[in-house]
Amino acid sequence: MRILTDCSFLTNKQIRKIEERYGARYVFESQLKLRSEKWSDFSSAVFYTDEPHPEGSNWFAIWDNDGRFMISNAISAVEEPFFGALAENGDVIYSRHCRDFRESDDKTVFVDGGRDRLRHDLIHEILKLKVLRDRVVVVPRENRRPGCEVPFTAELDWDINQPEFSYSGDPLPVGALSK
């Protein structure tokens, strides 16, 4: 499995120059949280340095503000997990900002919408990702059924794929779905 963390607005040469200047390592491209607690509508290149800034964190971001590169604290980009889609070729892609439509190299999966409104193909597996120091990793799944926000939802207790079945459970109590 390969998590694609490429940067859409910096070249590899520019990334190496920033890494050398600040003694840092490029981590990934992501949105930053604004003072309003909403995600930015632009993305930034997030870097990790072993020595934290006296007034910040170990992560900083470089972003393009109409042709001028800016530097910011990037702790907001690494504090919360985010989601990516697993393509059939094993690549994991994620949307880097609200208008970042990405398709996997093998064309089997897409993502769009950034961190606060992820859109994906609804077919392929969605993975929870997080930043661990200077790399992006997959958060291990817990052994539990996924939650559902639809009220009055229960898992079927019979196999709908079987050609013939007999129902042996108790009938659904009157009013069970109107609670």
Question: What is the rounded CA–CA span in Å between residue 19 and residue 25?
Answer: 5
What is the residue-averaged pLDDT of the chain? 85
Closest CA to 97 of 145, 34, 18: 34
Model confidence pLDDT, tens digit, residues 24-65: 999 999 999 999 999 999 999 999 999 998 888 999 999 999
**What's the pLDDT score for residue 179?**
47
Q: Is the pLDDT of residue 99 over 80?
A: yes
Calculate what percentage of the chain has a pLDDT beyond 70: 79
Helix/strand/coil for 99: coil
- Report the predicted TM-score, pTM, of the whole model to 2 decimal places: 0.76
159's tokens: 């196999």
More confident residue, 123 or 22: 22
Closest CA to 77 of 113, 31, 38: 31
**What's the pLDDT score for residue 144?**
45
Sequence length of the chain is 179
Residues 6+ apart with CB under 8 A from 46: 26, 27, 28, 29, 30, 59, 60, 61, 74, 77, 78, 131
Model confidence pLDDT, tens digit, residues 74-87: 999 999 999 999 99
